[in-house]
């Protein structure tokens, strides 16, 4: 009995997490307030992911987790000098910046849905351009960790 309730709690947590990511993804895909169009695009992308033999929920969650940056680098001016200081990011901003990184790697290629399907699948495996961008950001943050004492919190 205990394992069933524990399993139900796990499913509810993962469903809440997926719905949060789903809503964030729709809001970043939306242009000019056309939410239904963004929802249709995302639904078609998830269907195409499932047709390729992958679980769309798992692919979206894994891709978001692989792309999301844990740190960001901000310019801080102290005594006339500008330093790049690494700052930790809150969870909702991590998700937001992961979708920004994902969508910024689209350079007006032929079909947006094809790009999004391939990018999500390769990001869930850790092999996409978006993941490389995030790793580059983490590398810059680790190179500038010497200036971490300039944070004000």
Domains and CATH numbers, the chain: 2-150 (1.10.455.10)
Mean pLDDT of 68-81: 89
Average of pLDDT values for 29-48? 90
Q: How much is the pLDDT for 9?
A: 43
- Between CA 20 and CA 112 the distance in angstroms is 22
* Strand, helix or coil for residue 2: helix
What are the helix (H) ranges across 30-127? Answer: 35-51, 56-67, 91-104, 112-125
Residue 145, pLDDT score: 81
pTM of the model: 0.79
Residue 71, SS3? strand
- Decide which of 37 and 152 is more confident: 37
* In the predicted structure, residue 113 carries a pLDDT above the cut 80: yes
Instruction: Please state, in angstroms and rounded to a whole number, the distance separating the CA atoms of residues 42 and 25.
Output: 8
Q: What angle do CA 123, 126, 130 make, to 5 degrees?
A: 50
């Amino acid at each position: 009995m205990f394992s069933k309730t524990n399993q139900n709690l796990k499913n509810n947590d993962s469903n809440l997490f997926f719905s949060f990511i789903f809503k964030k993804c729709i809001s970043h895909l939306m242009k000019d307030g056309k939410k239904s169009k963004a929802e249709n695009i995302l639904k078609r992308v998830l269907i195409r992911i499932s047709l390729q033999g992958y679980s769309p929920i798992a692919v979206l969650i894994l891709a978001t987790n692989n792309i999301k940056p844990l740190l960001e680098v901000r310019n801080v001016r102290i005594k006339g000098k500008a330093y790049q200081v690494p700052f930790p990011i809150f969870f909702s901003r991590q998700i937001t910046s992961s979708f920004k990184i994902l969508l910024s790697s689209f350079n007006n290629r032929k079909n947006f849905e094809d790009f999004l399907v391939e990018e999500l699948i390769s990001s869930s495996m850790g092999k996409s351009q978006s993941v490389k961008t995030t790793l580059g950001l983490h590398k810059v943050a680790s190179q500038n960790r010497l200036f971490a004492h300039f944070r004000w919190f």
